[in-house]
Copies of this chain bind each other. A is one copy, B any other.
Amino acid sequence: MSLESVPPKYAQLVQALQRRIESGDYPPGSLLPSENQLINEFGVSRPTVVAALRVLREQGWIDSQQGKGRFVRGRPAMASAEQPRPGQAYLTAPETASAGEVIEAAAVAVPNRIAALLNLAPKSKAFLRRRLISRDGEPTEVVSVWVPLELSEGTDLTSAESLPQGLREHLQSRKGVRFDHIVEQITARMPATAEAKQLGMPKNTPLLAVYGAVRDASGTALAVVEVLLPADRHELEDAYPIG
């Protein structure tokens, strides 16, 4: 039997048109062939053509205007720039992917900001796992993860060793929770003396602080990751389409 399940026709059409746009066959700003032309050329029905063009429009490759036609926008610059957001890498990638040492792994009373993000009462406890990340032998970032106590039970988070598995996979397989989205807060403050010393930074330069609250689809907070970066050595970069 043919195990090579062919992709649906509309998906093939999407790929064919993407190739033509990328190759310059359909340059940006030009008018795409009309629906009828595509029907004749590819030998498919109109719903199939429309389904393919809908995908392209939703992905940002083309614009459509009723009565005029569909215009090529070019390869969506976003598609390539899908690099992980600041804190996200530390949630999905295994700890062994980044050089660093675990400097704290225990249940502690949570700071106010973390309590708010986790929907916990102030001064209640949560499990904290904090690592000092190094690049080229120099300490560069402090990454902390707070997890509610009931979620940390039965996991390997207490280990002082680097986890060979990403936090996301670990919690998903052990506790059956599903990460859905992240609410991110970015702020800046001056470093405490101990922090400046840990990071080897001058104590008169600010610290960029990124807080990422991980939630499931219903909005329940599952974990909070905090990334502290010396602002003189790091920036946050990101790209997104305009509505």
Residues of chain A having any CB pair with chain B under 8 Å:
28, 47, 58, 60, 73-74, 76-78, 81-82, 84-85, 88, 91-92, 168, 179-190, 204-208, 214-215, 217-219, 231-232, 235-243
Contact = CB atoms under 8 A, between A and B. Distances in A.
Contacts of A204: 190
5 contacts: A28-B218, A74-B217, A88-B242, A185-B238, A186-B186
A231 B206 contact: yes
Chain multiplicity (copies): 2
Nearest to A220: B77
Contacts of A241: 180-182
A186 B88 contact: no
A47 B73 CA distance: 29
A28 B240 contact: no
Given A28-B218, A183-B237, A186-B186, 5 more contacts: A60-B180, A74-B219, A92-B243, A168-B242, A181-B239
Given A76-B217, A218-B74, A206 B189 contact: yes
A208 to B, nearest CB: 5
Contact of A180 (B73, B187, B231, B235): B73
A180 to B, nearest CB: 6
Contacts of A88: 242-243
Contacts of A186: 186, 208, 235-238
